[in-house]
Amino acid sequence: IFAAVEMAPRDPILGLTESFNADTRPTKVNLGVGVYYDDNGKIPLLAAVKAAEKARLEAAPPRGYQPIEGPATYTQAVQNLLFGAGSDLIAAGRVVTAQGIGGTGALRIGADFLKRLNPGATVYISDPSWENHRALFEAAGFPVETYPYYDAATRGVDFAGMKAKLLSLPAGSVILLHACCHNPTGADLSDAQWEEVVAACREKGLVPFLDMAYQGFADGIDQDAVAVRLFSASGLQFFVSSSFSKSFSLYGERVGALSIVTASKEESSRVLSQVKRVIRTNYSNPQIHGAAIVATVLSSPELRAQWESELAGMRDRIRAMRTGLVEKLAAKGVAQDFSFVVKQRGMFSYTGLSADQVAVLQKDFGIYAVSTGRICLAALNAKNIDYVADGIAQVLKG
């Protein structure tokens, strides 16, 4: 049966972690994968999560099947976080939310539903984008193309190129947008640019699909939701995939959600029925634990306040690492201006390091980065930042 099976390519990012794990050098640093580590280099277990888990363990609830779209306590909490607690859309019954297996699973439910809805559409992702976006939408049967996004010269967004491309697309095209903390570049749109994207989607009849994997990692929970809020105010229909992997440090629990904004409450019930059909034929209904923890934290004023402060702590630490890296590179005599690293948002930076330089960093220093030059700032800490700055400085001096 398997004689002709070929070796599939590794995921370029998760594959890097496999190489990192096999590296025996004690000084090794993994700047590849997008995971938040604390200052001790550990993935944190948030205190708010720990408290909710303790309460849950003591309550010892039964483990029946969940509703196909996840429990209402969870889906309502997701909606409040994305659209704002006082959202008119929520009140009008115009938001449909289903729990997803992480943000990835949410994207896939959305992709499968879209394929049924609009089988002839093309999906447009940013150039560059998270590696899995293309693979996932292609696996769902869509052709995937790109719109201009990153401008290496300014280390910002080529907004003129992006807008011109959006305005050239046929109606019904699906536009995948990073709601904040763009992965891999760290370059985000301004609020005014988001308004122009909303206007372009309206003018051309595009299908917006916002991917929100890092809410709270740029400026704050509501500030980072500005794209969702602007699309909400526009009257358009759109998709949002969201994830708690990063914001709750619950990576392996696989907690995310797909939300769809419809035109009416009546439309919502039809849309939900189709989303449930997609879920049923994939995995029947979602797992309990992670979503229960998130729902508990978000619905308890004390735990929510604790979570917000822990999230702010993660955000501030990443910012401090950005500033620290820039200062240390300058102190080590690097002539090139790295101040752009401080302006980028979220976990990542496109450093401008070439694939060859990244390979030398890995070989000579055990510092792992993505071959595109993307590094995860959240993997830096007080103990390794000097070593990393030194490695980068040496590689740059060639």
Binding site for ligand PLP (CB under 6 A): 34, 102-104, 130, 178, 183, 211, 213, 243, 245, 256
Q: Which of 115, 118, 120 is nearest to 137 (CA)?
A: 115
Active site residue 188: no
**Residue 185 CB, nearest approach to ligand TYF (Å):** 12
- Which of the residues 165, 211, 307, 328 is marked catalytic? 211
Shortest distance (Å) from residue 356 CB to ligand PLP? 25
Measured CA to CA, the distance from residue 86 to residue 282 in angstroms comes to: 33
Q: In the bound complex, what is the minimum distance in angstroms from residue 134's beta carbon to ligand TYF?
A: 11
Distance CA 353, CA 58 (A): 50
What is the helix (H) or strand (E) element at residue 47, kind and residue range?
helix 47-59
In this structure, are residues 205 and 255 in contact, taking their beta carbons and an 8 Å threshold?
no
Considering the complex, state which of residue 178 and residue 322 has its C-beta at the smaller distance from ligand PLP. Answer: 178
Burial class (CB in 10 A: 0-12, 13-18, 19+), 84: middle
Nearer to ligand PLP, 211 or 310 (CB): 211
Which of 149, 365 has the CB closer to ligand PLP?
A: 149
Told to judge if 165 belongs to the known catalytic residues of this protein, a careful annotator would answer no
Which is nearest to 189 in space by CA: 145, 228, 244, 142?
Answer: 228
Evaluated on CA atoms 163, 167, 170, 174, the torsion sign reads positive
224, interface contact from ligand TYF, ligand PLP, none, CB < 5-8 Å by kind: none
Query: Is 42 a known active-site residue?
Result: no
Q: Which is nearer to ligand TYF, 41 or 161 (CB)?
A: 41
Which residue's Cβ has the minimum distance to ligand PLP?
102
Closer residue to ligand PLP in complex, CB, 13/380 = 13
CB of 105: closest distance to ligand PLP in angstroms? Answer: 7
Which residues of this chain interact with ligand TYF, rule CB under 6 A? 11, 13-14, 33-34, 130, 132, 183
| Lookup: tokens for 320 | 């401090």
Contacts of 44 (CB under 8 A, 6+ apart): 36, 37, 38, 249, 310, 314
**243 touches which of ligand TYF, ligand PLP, none (CB within 5 to 8 A by kind)?**
ligand PLP
* Identity of the residue, 240 or 329, whose beta carbon is nearer to ligand PLP in the bound complex: 240
Residue 306: contacted member of ligand PLP, ligand TYF, none (CB under 5 to 8 Å, by partner type): none
Q: Which residue is nearest to ligand TYF (CB)?
A: 34
Work out what residue 189 binds among ligand TYF, ligand PLP, none; the CB cut-off runs from 5 to 8 Å by kind. none
Residue 388 contacts by C-beta under 8 Å, 6 or more apart in sequence?
29, 31, 325, 367, 380
Burial class (CB within 10 angstroms; exposed 0-12, middle 13-18, buried 19+) of 122: middle
- Chain centre distance of CA 278: 22
Give which of ligand PLP, ligand TYF, none residue 14 binds (C-beta under 5 to 8 Å, depending on kind). Answer: ligand TYF
* DSSP 8-state assignment for residue 140: T
CB of 282 to ligand TYF, least distance (A): 18
What's the closest the beta carbon of residue 131 comes to ligand TYF, in angstroms? 6
From the list ligand TYF, ligand PLP, none, which binds 13 (C-beta under 5 to 8 Å, kind-based)? ligand TYF
| Six-digit token string for 137 | 């939408």
Residues 6 or more apart in contact with residue 90 via CB below 8 angstroms: 79, 80, 83
Q: Which of 115, 165, 246, 328 is catalytic?
A: 246
Q: Which residues form the catalytic set?
A: 130, 211, 246
